[in-house]
Amino acid sequence: MSFMDFFHRKRSGEVAKDRLKLMLISDRANCSPDMMEAIKNDIINVLSKYMEIDNENLDIQITQTESEDGNGTVPVLCANIPVRDMRKRS
């Protein structure tokens, strides 16, 4: 997170859009919004150990896809996480 990111605030419309998207995703996956937020935060925390990520533009969704055995659909986690830079390991 850069110094200027500290002062960046989302407009209320952007916040509402993000909340609606989270609700739709959680509904599709039969997963509560709180659980989706916890999953998202865990992914961000783990990846942040190894790389600097763009928190503002990441997109994590759960969608449905056909199962390999053809017996219905299964949930799939899709994550688009922009990487700004790799962290140096000492």
pLDDT digits (tens, 9 = 90+) for 9-60: 567 787 777 777 666 666 666 667 777 778 888 888 998 889 998 888 888 8
Q: How many helices (H) and strands (E) does the chain have?
A: 2, 4
Specify the pairing of strand 51-53 against strand 73-80.
Answer: unpaired
Taking the model in full, what pTM does it have? Answer: 0.53
Residue 58 and residue 79 in contact, taking contact as beta carbons nearer than 8 Å? yes
The tokens 């962290």 sit on which residue? 87
* CA angle, residues 86, 38, 1, in degrees to nearest 5: 35
